[in-house]
Amino acid sequence: MTPALTTGQILINLLAALFVIPLVAGIFIKAPKLIVFGLLGVLFMFSDSTWGQIEQEATIYSRGAGMFYFSLLNLILLISGVAALIKRMATRHGPQLAPPISKYFVAFIFLLLSHVVMGLMLGIDLNVILGYNGVFNILNMLIFMYIVIMALDKDKDSTRLLVTILALAGIRAAFGAVRYFLFDGDSANPYRNFEGLDIKIFFFDINDNFVAALAAFCAAWLLTTPQFKMRWYTRLLILMFIGLEIAAVALSFRRSSLIGLALMFGFLFLRLPGRRKLVFAMLGASALVVVASVFFQQRLQFNTTGGVLESLIYDIAPDRGGIKENRFYELYAAAQSMDGNWLFGRGTWGTFVGDKDALSYHGNDFSFVHSGFGHVLLKTGFVGLTLFVCILGAYVSFYRKHRNHLAGKERLIADAGFAGFLFWIPTLLIGTPIIEFRSMMMLGFTLALPFVAVGMQNYQVRRYLYQQSQYAAA
């Protein structure tokens, strides 16, 4: 819990807020792209994972939390969200921003405010109610989604966005490769530091795997789409780039990342013209064999004496003993702790109880579970879970409705967004994205992409109609 501030600290915070708030708001209103690309630069380049380090270090995502309760980055996001709302109210006749999701966004804010009121009535501190171990990061996700949609609204932004994704991912992967092949890999390595396994990893943070997977998908999309003609050496460079990004995922030895990557490229395979599917399938099968063999030799061999499949499900296999020996015991214990609170949950501040020995990896912090959907259910019940699923469902429906009406770079941006969503599905099922600021910001960016693509195409149509009207008037 964050300690109470002294009078001097409160005064310093007030003065800092009086400086930061109008500065950020003014920049977003005048140059929203500067805020969005700045946030993307931080999200793509800096890790947020400290789990697995022998000595945990503060990250850029926690800077300012002691002064403002929220981190400085989160404060910038919230101020930008308010500025976006003000700007939107001042231009009511502008294009709508993600209309299928807006009603669920409003409903979620009402639900969060209800938890705030109830928590304060029960004597819970506000910083606990709105802490990251609740559902506040869902609000961060939605705000970031909306400011990305608002900022990237011109057709020339598509090139800037794609170049930014590929360039930042390439730099990050190159950094990871140097660290992996020349040094000891990621310092956040629980397999080596906690379990004593002789394993180096490329990246432990799931978001670094997402950045690499997203860049690999975009590059593979460009390589396999007939309308983009390239010289042989350009194709060779792209193939090398794809190999680097896939290596970043494979050598991180995370099952959810590999499954997510497979879902992304399976989606790309389905989107290919018929004649290209055979070549892609052969290349994909070869890459899968290499990745599976490396994954088994470097990590899964320590989990069981069986084959690859037994290694992949070693902690959820039926013959692993009682429920307390199973990975799903955590969710079982959380369900047992609901105590009739299934409709509205145990509150954003709520916790669960279970066998501390079986749940020793929690470190006595039982305010989260390893399932995004399960976490939302624990905190906000079926009401909150339904809202969250409706947000994701509205996103999928929007993409399916508009995907065949997009072309060129806008089609790539929309497909990349949906592929990115597929990457996050395993993590939403068995990971902890809801309590991670960086993960939910990345998910918000993913949700924004199809809306950005449609907005860019609509801008092109509006500009064409305006030019035609000007020509006719002349």
Token pair for residue 379? 């905190």
Report the pLDDT value the prediction gives residue 315, as an integer from 0 to 100. Answer: 53
The model's pTM is 0.89
Report the pLDDT value the prediction gives residue 2, as an integer from 0 to 100. Answer: 47
pLDDT digits (tens, 9 = 90+) for 154-196: 888 999 999 999 999 999 999 999 999 999 888 888 888 887 7
53, 187 contact by CB (below 8 A): yes
Distance separating alpha carbons of residues 130 and 113, to the nearest angstrom: 10
Rounded to a whole number of angstroms, the CA Rg of the chain reads 23
Which letter does DSSP use for residue 54 in this model? Answer: S
Distance separating alpha carbons of residues 205 and 196, to the nearest angstrom: 19
Token pair for residue 445? 């960016």
> Which residues of the chain fall below pLDDT 50?
1-2, 461, 464-468, 470-474
At residue 474, the 3 state secondary structure works out as coil
Report the pLDDT value the prediction gives residue 465, as an integer from 0 to 100. Answer: 44
Instruction: Supply angle C-alpha 76, 78, 80, rounded to 5.
Output: 65
Report the pLDDT value the prediction gives residue 1, as an integer from 0 to 100. Answer: 45
Report the pLDDT value the prediction gives residue 278, as an integer from 0 to 100. Answer: 66
431, 375 contact by CB (below 8 A): no
Residues with Cβ < 8 Å from 253, sequence gap 6 or more? Answer: 191, 199, 201, 295, 298, 299
Residues with Cβ < 8 Å from 474, sequence gap 6 or more? Answer: none
Element (H, E) at 266: helix 255-271
